[in-house]
């Protein structure tokens, strides 16, 4: 069962890349990071 889940996760991540390679994931995490930082700053300084 555990062996079946590993390829699944990899497949999901590869699909989210859209064939752009690791750069696609990096941009996604950068965008997520910016959103999280913006929310934290908003909550701290509102």
Q: What is the DSSP letter of 21?
A: T
> What are the boundaries of each domain within the chain?
2-45
> What tens digit of pLDDT does each residue of 13-40 get?
555 545 555 556 678 888 999 999 999 9
* pLDDT recorded at residue 29: 86
Rg value, the chain, Cα: 15
Helix ranges (DSSP H) in 1-46: 2-17, 22-45
Contact assessment for residue 16 and residue 24, using Cβ atoms and an 8 Å cutoff: yes
Higher per-residue confidence, 44 vs 19: 44
Tokens 């859209």 correspond to what residue? 18
CA distances from 16 to 7, 9, 24, 38, 39 (A): 14, 11, 8, 24, 24
């Amino acid at each position: 069962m555990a062996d079946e889940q590993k390829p699944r996760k990899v497949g999901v991540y590869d699909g989210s890349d859209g064939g752009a390679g690791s750069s696609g994931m990096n941009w996604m995490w950068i965008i997520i990071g910016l959103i999280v930082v913006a929310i934290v700053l908003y909550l701290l300084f509102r």
